[in-house]
Every structure is written in C-alpha cells, then in structure tokens.
Amino acid sequence: MTSPALASTLTERLFGALLGTAELLTVQLGRELGLYTALRAGPHDPAGLAAAAGIDERYAREWLEQQAAAGFLTADAGTFALAPGVTEVLLDEDGPDYAGAAAEFALGAALLTPAVIGAFRTGAGVPYAEYRHIRHGIAGFNRPMFTHLLTGEWLPAVPEIDRRLRDLPGAAVLDLGCGMGHSSVAMARAYPAITVRGVDLDEDSITEARRVAAAAGVADRVTFTTGDAAATGGTYDLITIFEALHDMGDPVGVLRNARGLLTDGGSVFVADERVADEFTAPAGEVERLQYAFSVLHCLPATRAENPVVANGTVLRAPTLIGWARDAGYTAPEVLTVENDFWRFYRLR
C-alpha cells in the first residue's frame, strides 16, 4: 500500500504541473496578442493595454492581474509593467535567455493530444504539418543556441571543420532537417565564404526559412529546398543535422546518402538529444521532458511517414553510433561539446 506521504508528494507534483501548464498558456496569450510587446513600450492600465493591443478591456484587466499574480508583471496603483527579466526571457528571441517558445510547445502539445489519443488506438501517426505550434516552438527554442553557440562553440570544437569553412573558398554546407532555417543562416553569417543549402520535408518551414534568410541578408548564399534527406543530391564539405535525425523515418538511409555526398575530407556533424546511454527509471528532468515530447509529438509525427524506424525523441548515443556504422562510416565519434540538451557527433 502506498504511503500517504508518497501519494501527497505525487499530488503536489501534479498540481505544480497543472499550474505551470496553465501559466504557460497565459504566456502564449500574451505572446500571440502582442501584450508583452505593448508593455515593453511602457506601463499600462487595463484601458491603455486594451487600446495599445486592440483587445477587450475586461480581458485586459484579467490578464494583467493574472500576470502580476504569477510574477511576470509588477503592479502599482492599477498600472502594470514588465517584471525584471521578462524582456530577456519572453521578448528577445535571439537572446541567450529566451524561453518564450516553451509556451508555444505547451499549446501545440495540448491542441494535438486528441489526435495522439486516436493514433495510440489505431497505430497510425499525426502528420508533422499539423503541429504548427510545435514547429514554431522548436524553432524558437533552438534559435538562440544557433545564434550564440553553433558557430561560436560547436563547430569550432572540431578545428578541422572550422578551418575548412573559413579557409576553403566556396565551401558548401548541406543542412538536413533545417526547419525554419536559423541554423543555416547562423552558419552563413559566421562563415562569409560558404554557401548553405537547407532541406526539410515541411513546406511551411521552408517558406519561413526563406524569409529568415532574406531578413538576415544572406539569401544570396543560403537556399532552401523541400525534399527528402535520404534522396538529396549534390556535393558538400559539411553536412549538418541538428535535432532532426531522431525524427527521420529512415535514419540509416539518410546517413548513408549523406556519406555519399561528402567531398574528400568532409564530415557529417550531428546534434541530437542528450539522454542516458540506457533506459533508467526514474530519469532526470531533461530525459523526462524528451520522453514527454516523444509521446506527444516525435513518435506520432514519424509514424505518419510509414517509417523504416520510428525512434522517437530519445535517441541514445549507442543507437546513433550504430546507425552511423550501418551507414558505412568507419570513424563515428561522440564529441566532448557541453550542452544541457544536445549531444554532438562527427561522422566520417
């Protein structure tokens, strides 16, 4: 029989999760309606926020009070302002502290849970294209890492790759599973002599990626194509796969195809989830989060593709190294690059 103390602990944990989820959804309201942006310009009372953001005043008052109660805003005599840190965490999308995408993840997972329930019953999948909010959540979560770490820490951790991109005129990079293009753009901005081609199966992501490249002023060197990573052609000095291999229905086929596209001395650089090498329970917080994403998003989205393999989010290092060897790489290695969420690999 379970002790009352253990039951109480679990109850408290679920209450905390409910509170966090509910507050994340109110954060998403503020993001989508432009309420934080309006408050960034200066404090507002409910009437002022309603006018600035074009919303109903009664809803404005309730949201302002709720946000102040939650600590996202400060309140002074009926006027509300952003609390310290909110600008960096919820508004500065390129900043190293940005975490606003967490709210979009929560909304996307909630909206598609009924479809996932149906998939559990039938064994079918939920197409990736239906996960609109998840798609934006992934891009928003990863964008600061691409902006601040990809070319400042990750690629330089392999000096041979870094030198090749800096010193080889016209070096070509293929970014497989490029999503909304932030990784492709970050590489192009850091290495002015390279060209980058991003490939992704999702047409909406490719459309957004082209907009991102144009806004960054690198559209002359960065192109995007809707396509299958296992059937992409060309010749490249570097091929990157950032947090996408675990979602691919034929990962060995993708890696085998990538190997055939490399120039002499070229490399495949992979980043995927930092999880334990073996299943353990209970697991740490990061692995718990990855498993939750797997149940709600990654596994259903992959199952919708009639996959060879449906791995799910939790891609363990021995599994990835095994895929690489099956694909013909003779020297796959796990890199000693520190990151709370991702593990890095070089395949040759």
What are the structural domains of the chain? Answer: 4-89 (1.10.10.10), 158-288+302-347 (3.40.50.150)
- Amino acid making up residue 293: F
Cα–Cα distances (Å) from 337 to 142, 148, 163, 274, 346, in that order, read 16, 14, 18, 11, 11
Residue closest to 196 by CA, chosen among 211, 206, 186, 207: 186
Q: Does 187 have pLDDT greater than 90? A: yes
Would you say 270 and 347 are in contact if contact means Cβ atoms under 8 Å apart? yes
Provide the pLDDT for residue 339.
Answer: 96
pLDDT digits (tens, 9 = 90+) for 48-81: 999 999 999 999 999 999 999 999 999 999 999 9
Mean of pLDDT over the chain: 97
Q: Is residue 93 very low, low, confident or very high in pLDDT (cuts 50, 70, 90)?
A: very high
Q: Is residue 181 very low, low, confident or very high in pLDDT (cuts 50, 70, 90)?
A: very high
Provide the pLDDT for residue 1.
Answer: 62
Provide the pLDDT for residue 4.
Answer: 84
Provide the pLDDT for residue 70.
Answer: 98
Cα separation, 268 vs 253, whole angstroms: 14
Instruction: Please give the share of the chain, as a percent, with pLDDT higher than 70.
Output: 99
Structure tokens at 93: 């999308």
H-assigned helices in 123-250: 132-145, 159-167, 182-190, 203-216
Exposure on the CB side of residue 110, measured as CA atoms within 13 A:
12
DSSP state of 153: I
Q: Does 170 have pLDDT greater than 70? A: yes
Number of Cβ atoms within 10 Å of the Cβ of 32: 12
The pTM of the full predicted model, rounded to 2 decimals, is: 0.94
**Alpha-carbon torsion (90, 93, 99, 105), positive or negative:** positive
> What is the number of helices (H) and of strands (E) in the chain?
14, 9
Provide the pLDDT for residue 127.
Answer: 96
Provide the pLDDT for residue 3.
Answer: 78
3-class state of residue 262 by DSSP: strand
Q: Does 102 have pLDDT greater than 90? A: yes
Would you say 50 and 56 are in contact if contact means Cβ atoms under 8 Å apart? yes
pLDDT digits (tens, 9 = 90+) for 244-297: 999 999 999 999 999 999 999 999 999 999 999 999 999 999 999 999 999 999
Would you say 137 and 102 are in contact if contact means Cβ atoms under 8 Å apart? yes
Contacts with 151 (C-beta within 8 Å, 6 or more apart), sequence order: 186, 187, 189, 190, 191
Contacts with 153 (C-beta within 8 Å, 6 or more apart), sequence order: 337
Average pLDDT value for residue range 138-152: 96
Would you say 328 and 345 are in contact if contact means Cβ atoms under 8 Å apart? no
